[in-house]
Amino acid sequence: MSPVRYKTVEVNGIRIFYREARNVGAPKLLLLHGFPSASHMFRGLFPLVAEKFDVIAPDLPGFGQSEMPAREKFLYTFENIARVIERFTEIVEFDRFALYVFDYGAPTGFRMAVRHPERITAIISQNGNAYEEGLSEGWTPVRAYWEDASQANRKALRAFLTPETTSWQYTHGVPDSTIVSPDGRNLDNYYLARPGADEIQLDLLGDYKSNVALYPSFQRYFRTHKPPFLAVWGKNDPFFLPSGAQAFKRDIPEATIRFFDTGHFALETHCTEIAKVISDFLGDQAGQQKTSHGFEH
């Protein structure tokens, strides 16, 4: 297995941290994390996929160990984050790659796929939503802020940023919470507690409405290009419902949907199982692509 290396690179004037296990000649796999985490959420997945794939996982701008520019210097929207990560893939020479998206990583990655469908070889969505029916009632206070961006509604969203809420996100829907390491959530809470991080995260919660507005565009991309698609879903997620996973089959009938008896952070409890499904799925796609191009008969 290639060793995991930890690097930074400047992208559009922002220092982006990433971890990589480069495997030259192997299929490329880009891992995009979600809220309120960073690429450390893939710490268990890396050794399980790095032998077969060329893997990179960046921290999104404002998250983890990537630079957190002041709000006056960088407008924290999903569009701007997607532009940075799109440019990041070009700098690290990820020309064609499979996309693994989780939570916030989904609207980031789906924007990239819509703009450059030729770069995407496959999509794996781990609780990364693109359908209205996938949004649970847990989004109600966020929707209230979308409809009325008052200070009162913004203040109400601060409940999402507390250490207690982070711990709840990690353990809700997990049959045995003792198998969830405290390392990930404690690190997430450390990053959330940095000066200025709270306002950035509130900005992004407010901007999430732009992702919902783009759902028809994402769905049109799925219908038009039909990328090989795998959903690996914690079925007890309090934010993204199983119906959101099933909905992908409307636009990609051949999509594979796999549910796991766990919550939002499915890798914390089912990393080995998900890695096996990913390896089988991407291995099948590679074999089919070779056959279709006449390399195997």
Mean pLDDT of 166-175: 98
**What percent of the chain stands above pLDDT 90?**
94
β-partners of residue 120 are 97
Mean pLDDT of 107-128: 98
Would you call 73 exposed, middle or buried from its count of C-beta atoms within 10 A (0-12, 13-18, 19+)? exposed
Task: Tally Cβ neighbours within 10 Å of residue 115.
Answer: 12
Q: Let me know if 264 is a catalytic residue.
A: yes
User: Dmax of the chain from CA atoms?
Assistant: 64
Residue 286 pLDDT more than 70?
no
The per-residue pLDDT for range 2-32, each reduced to its tens digit, is 899 999 999 999 999 999 999 999 999 999 9
Determine the pLDDT at residue 283: 85
CA distance 232 to 124: 7
Would you call 87 exposed, middle or buried from its count of C-beta atoms within 10 A (0-12, 13-18, 19+)? middle
Determine the pLDDT at residue 287: 54
The per-residue pLDDT for range 190-242, each reduced to its tens digit, is 999 999 999 999 999 999 999 999 999 999 999 999 999 999 999 999 999 99
Q: Where are the alpha helices (DSSP H) in 63-104?
A: 78-91
Catalytic residue among 172, 264, 270, 297: 264
Backbone dihedral angles phi then psi of residue 166, each to the nearest 5 degrees? -60, -45
Would you call 6 exposed, middle or buried from its count of C-beta atoms within 10 A (0-12, 13-18, 19+)? exposed
CATH annotation of 5-138+211-292: 3.40.50.1820
What single DSSP character describes residue 99? E
**What percent of the chain stands above pLDDT 70?**
95
Give this prediction's pTM: 0.95
Could you tell me the end-to-end alpha-carbon distance of the chain, in angstroms, rounded to an integer?
A: 29
